[in-house]
Structure 1
Amino acid sequence: MFRQGPCEKRDELFDREEELRGTIEALRNNVWVAILGMRMSGKTSLAKVAANILSKEGFSYIYVDLRGISNVSGMSRRIINSISEGFFSRMRDYLEKIRVWEVEMSLRKTSKTRTMEEILTELSKRRRLIVILDEVQEIKGGINHFLSMLARLRNSTRNLSFLFTGSSIGLMDTLLHPSRGSPMYGRSPLEIELGPWSGRVAFQFIREGLEKCSIEYNDNEIEDALRVLGTLPGWLSFYGIRRCLGKDHENALRDSESEAIDVALGELRNAIRERGEWARRALRMIAAYGARWSDLDVGVSDSTLSDFLKRLKKLYIISEESGTYIVPDPIYRKAAMRL
């Protein structure tokens, strides 16, 4: 029940029934889907479980991890590599054709985007295909070519569906809110948003997981874990794994909190990258006490500060309550104070 990596089977996924049902129904009806949420909310798990359920109905799927990729050329290369290494293990006869294709495209200097389009079109002729593009938000370079490819595929290939995951910035934001001139205008994917669990669901998750591991616990320990870690599934799994491996409550909580803060720090550093010291100060102010607009005098223009706060909201790092900006997740609050 507590996992280091994403869930893949239905019985591994805790809660999220409504979101899973919506994702599956959309893909069955050839509606493209965007799963939104912050890191550790379970986006990848939801995508993989939905795809695996549909694989029993005749679908195939390709999973592509786009972390660390910042342009469409790199994304195309990773998609093609994912096809060759995974999907075609069951289609050996077609693998050689794809290899020849890639060589021909290279010799003709055809773009990787066009190569990818031809491959996906051919694959979708064989059976219904889902392409999961995980963590698309940081893709920047070459977006227009990619959007044009998506529009062509959307118009010509009914057996092909895309499932995107990420935060609502960058390419994801462009997909969800295309301008009138965008080739994807009127073709936005269905949004499914994953937030933290409620306290009740998070409590039940830890309790059931510990019971499956035959670990002795008391309710005060679970409440303590929720107070320190919050209710994001990923943070709670850090704690649950350690308890199931035999660590006592205090050591498991200390170690899982430390690991979670390290992960969150990486996300925050990426969020403020290239924005200077003022961004770090603004985020620390919000994390420490909560801050109103008038409190955030950090030496930049109103438009610059506004754009930064909007980005943090779209990354689900901050929220706004009655005019006050806060960092709702306790792990991200602690990580922000260490920037």
Structure 2
Amino acid sequence: MGQKLIFDERPKDNRKDLFDREIEIEKIEKAVTSRKPLILILGVRRIGKTSVLQTALNELNENWILLDCRKLKENYSRRDIYTLIAQSLSRRIDKLKNVLEKINGISILGNQIEIKWKGRNYISLADLFDHLNEKRVIIAIDEAQKLRGPMSNEIKEAIAHAYDYDKNLTFILTGSEIGLLYDFLGVSNPKSPLYGRYYEEIVLERFDKEKSKEMLKRGFEELSFKVNDNVLEEIYEEFGGIPGWLVFAGLQYYSGKSLKELKEMAVQIALNEIENLLNRTPAKRRYKIVMKCIARGSDNWTKVKECLEKEEGSIISSSVLSNILNSLEKMSIIKDYTFLDPVYRDASMKLAVR
């Protein structure tokens, strides 16, 4: 596909390629032009946060850099985070060169930027933000919950410093694991450098049935591909109004996959994602059992506990189950014993418990 279409799986970066989301984009633009220091864009996986963020950034007449924290490994190092920042600055060097070339600790080599992360001329994150403050700059951090880890507190200290002193900077953070993003920021934790700071929150909700069908219909029309209403209905029922899944389903159906085949593909993708998410949990097997229990209809505390104990063949303490349920909610997998993504629900039925 030469031009971007609704059924392009890559994130969109302008409004003509993005279906709906006008209200959310306007909220972001209003918050930025009002110089709010901290903005959160929240929503489950595949809801379109990156597309909305990129579209808003490209519409604003402001300098910006975008850090994609999905590139960071779990126990990232100082070198890793500085490399990520250097890559982000390099992509915007034409806008920020006159500021960057004055900073000790930053070298400009053609279109590439290097940042000293240790030794002489090392520059701290707080100092870097102070220098960037010479211009109006938006610092956008995609999937910011990935910043939890060894440098978490230092990063929060730097953001808190910028919040207080760097009036030309606005931070926009996105997160698909919403509870973990809140944990990282710690705005309700007295021990966090960001405790008590106000943030503007913009939540992306899934589309309802009519809007989902409209999106699918328009996507198929762009491809000059006719489908009947029953297909649109079935795709909606299977994928629940989550734009990323609707794009995936529409594209696969257009390429000749049956509805059954594309659903099997989606479930396999979700299974792989669940495995990756649970790899960082200490009791992976129990998490899988709890997810299977909820997927099979255990919709309250008592039912989940009974199901888990039956599978384990032992009594499980309430605190253990509470920790598992809280973690699954923080990862935005479930809420109130319901899966937030119907594909994750169906994938959880197939989890191999070992």
The aligned residue for residue 305 of structure 1 is: 321
TM-score after normalising by structure 2:
0.83
The aligned residue for residue 22 of structure 1 is: 27
Kindly indicate whether residue 350 of structure 2 is the aligned counterpart of residue 338 of structure 1. Answer: yes
In structure 1, what residue type is equivalent to 2:218? E
CA distance 1:161–1:8, change in 2 (3 Å): same
Displacement of 1:253 in angstroms is 3.1
Kindly indicate whether residue 143 of structure 2 is the aligned counterpart of residue 135 of structure 1. Answer: yes
Q: 1:213 aligns with which of 203, 209, 223?
A: 223
Displacement of 1:118 in angstroms is 2.7
Kindly indicate whether residue 56 of structure 2 is the aligned counterpart of residue 50 of structure 1. Answer: yes
Matches of residues 1-339 of structure 1 in structure 2 within 5 Å?
Answer: 1-31=6-36, 32-54=38-60, 57=61, 59-69=62-72, 70=74, 71=76, 73=78, 74-84=80-90, 86-91=91-96, 98-99=106-107, 106-108=118-120, 110=122, 114-126=123-135, 128-138=136-146, 139-166=148-175, 167-175=177-185, 177-243=187-253, 246-248=254-256, 251=257, 253-273=259-279, 274-297=282-305, 298=308, 299-320=315-336, 325-339=337-351
* Structure 2: distance between partners of 1:276 and 1:238: 28
* Structure 2: distance between partners of 1:233 and 1:206: 9
* Structure 2: distance between partners of 1:300 and 1:331: 28
Displacement of 1:281 in angstroms is 0.7
* Structure 2: distance between partners of 1:105 and 1:68: 18
Q: Secondary structure at the match of 1:338?
A: coil
* Structure 1: distance between partners of 2:12 and 2:284: 37
Displacement of 1:186 in angstroms is 2.3
When structure 1 is superposed on structure 2, of 129-138 and 187-196 the one drifting more is: 187-196
Contact (CA 8 Å) 2:186, 2:194: kept in 1 or not? no
Contact (CA 8 Å) 1:41, 1:196: kept in 2 or not? yes
Mark the runs of 5 or more structure 1 residues left unpaired by the alignment: none
Q: Secondary structure at the match of 2:30?
A: helix
CA distance 1:218–1:196, change in 2 (3 Å): same
* Structure 2: distance between partners of 1:267 and 1:188: 32
Contact (CA 8 Å) 2:267, 2:347: kept in 1 or not? yes
Q: Secondary structure at the match of 2:173?
A: strand
Displacement of 1:170 in angstroms is 3.1
Larger relative helix fraction = 1
Displacement of 1:269 in angstroms is 2.0
In structure 2, what residue type is equivalent to 1:208? R
Displacement of 1:223 in angstroms is 0.7
The aligned residue for residue 312 of structure 2 is: none
Mark the runs of 5 or more structure 2 residues left unpaired by the alignment: 1-5, 309-314
Contact (CA 8 Å) 1:80, 1:116: kept in 2 or not? no
Contact (CA 8 Å) 1:176, 1:188: kept in 2 or not? no
When structure 1 is superposed on structure 2, of 302-311 and 264-273 the one drifting more is: 264-273
In structure 1, what residue type is equivalent to 2:191? G
Q: Deviations over 1:70-126 (max 9, x none)?
A: 347333431222112x0114555666552179566533284xxx5333333323313
When structure 1 is superposed on structure 2, of 70-79 and 43-52 the one drifting more is: 70-79
* Structure 1: distance between partners of 2:85 and 2:278: 28
Displacement of 1:326 in angstroms is 2.3
CA distance 1:222–1:314, change in 2 (3 Å): same
* Structure 1: distance between partners of 2:115 and 2:225: 55
CA distance 1:108–1:255, change in 2 (3 Å): farther
